[in-house]
Chain A
Amino acid sequence: MAILQCDNLSFGYEGRALIRDLSFSVQAGDYLCVVGQNGSGKTTLMRTILGLQSPLSGRVILGDGLRQNEIGYLPQQTLIQRDFPASVEEIVRSGCQGRLGLRPFYSAAEKQRAREAMEKLSVSELARRCYRELSGGQQQRVLLARALCATEKLLLLDEPVAGLDPMATDEMYRLIEGLNQEGITLIMISHDLHYALGHASHILQIGRDWFFGSKADYLRSPTGRNFLRAGRGER
């Protein structure tokens, strides 16, 4: 059974649909890249999958015993966060919020989980540092560690390398692929089609004509070829 399945999903804002009747499914271990132009609804799709907004029609079905609050999410950074006085450890721990339920405080196991996530993303030595004083790449790794606290199965990443310099970008991609190899399913919004075609297992292109399928199918499809040509033309 698929870990995530979308059936005839229509979503958008205030009753106006951005995308109609989108259907696709993600199997455990897949690496799905979501591509499309700005404003085509990539982030809105993610918010719909996460249950932050309800679909206008259609359904999002989670499989493999995955619960709604067990999806890890790496959102785009907000303005508030750039000036927020919080230590790295506090932020990573807040990723365990979904496990907390009605309990007021984190258990020893949850604190350990946060430590392991920091270890994995090599931010352990930053644990006591203040978030707003970190570099962009370090901040993204901290937020990814937080997302990792929330899930063992599925991560949703919204442009994880936006605004990073080339070195930090490579590092981020390397870490993300490492997580995928450990068996975590990934859905990532990306502007970098070149990268997506190099590393993802599946491509979902959304926009007026959407496409979903494996990478090889995408390269053969007219949609994919058009998008690639347009991408080259821009450069």
Chain B
Amino acid sequence: MLQQLLTYLEYPFVRYALIVGTLIALCSSLFGVTLVLKRFSFIGDGLSHVAFGAIAVASVLRLSSDMLFVLPATVLCAVLLLRVGQNAKIKGDAAIAMMSVGALAIGYLLMNLFSTSANISGDVCSTLFGSTSILTLSKAEVWLCVALSILVVAVYLLFYNKIFAVTFDESFARASGLSVNACNLLIAVIIAVIIVLAMNLVGSLLISALVIFPALSAMRVFRSFQAVTVCSAIVSVCATLTGMLISILAETPVGSTIVAVDIAVFALFSLAGKILKRA
């Protein structure tokens, strides 16, 4: 089995996939903690559907690089969702549901009306579940992914204390002079970037799992914000790498294998949390 693995690792596209997978896992888990604690989990889900719609538009327009269109479109929707959430004419969760289902439907409709390939259902399936796109990354896409990941991690480290303050108590943070709106906006934009990155790995339907599961697992066991953040990053990277290796060896779909590993880890941590509490 090890022999087989080493053979696979000689292919550059496998190595690219592993590098990108690790980076995406790291980024998505960092902001997962904040998303879960702020009860923002659904924003991630909604944005991933928006990204699906954007990809459909990009493929209809026959753009050479999807990312250049999908990224700004998703970031824009993230900003809009936050603004709508504040205006409260349509409540936050309803606005998210509306936008996500709408984007999904329009995306599929566009792909059907202006089909650019013979195999539409195959295209749709791979965008939703990310079956192969991680293995077909070009060198440029890998570098873009590396650059964006570094940006995300740097922003997280620089704003760590502010993100903590905003997550724990918005009123207090605002009273101590922190620009809470700017912080929330930053968080939403970064989430959008992460989601577009992660689409390559697990597809748009499964992204939320990548964001939420590591954070929830870490929260079962650890009791400080710092420990939870570090643990969820480690859990996420390990689970993603394990999932990718399994999927390469067993020839299972990448995205769903990773999520399955995440679920298993969550079950394990829940159990560990229960045992620790009793002790």
Contact = CB atoms under 8 A, between A and B. Distances in A.
Given A71-B175, A75-B172, A97 B225 contact: no
Interface in B241-277: none
B176 interface: yes
Contact of A97 (B157, B158, B162): B162
Contact of B39 (A80, A81, A129): A80
Given A81-B169, A86-B168, A104 B175 contact: no
A47 B170 CA distance: 12
A68 interface: yes
A97 B174 contact: no
Contact of B159 (A50, A73, A104): A104
B160 interface: yes
A109 interface: no
Nearest to A98: B176
A62 interface: no
A146 B223 contact: no
B224 A104 contact: no
Contact of A87 (B173, B174, B225): B225
A231 interface: no
Where chain B touches its partner, the secondary structure class is helix
A51 B176 CA distance: 10
Contacts of A52: 171, 174-175
Interface stretch (A19-27, A88-96, A178-186, A220-228): A88-96
A85 B168 contact: no
Contact of A130 (B157, B158, B223): B223
B224 A69 contact: no
Contacts of B164: 86, 90, 94
Interface string B145-163: 0000000000001111110
Given A100-B162, A146-B172, A150-B176, 11 more contacts: A47-B171, A50-B174, A78-B171, A80-B38, A80-B39, A81-B169, A84-B168, A87-B225, A94-B168, A98-B178, A104-B161
29 contacts: A50-B174, A69-B175, A69-B177, A73-B176, A75-B171, A80-B168, A81-B168, A81-B169, A84-B37, A85-B37, A85-B219, A85-B227, A87-B223, A87-B224, A90-B224, A94-B164, A97-B162, A97-B173, A97-B176, A97-B178, A104-B160, A104-B161, A104-B162, A105-B161, A128-B224, A129-B223, A130-B224, A146-B172, A150-B176
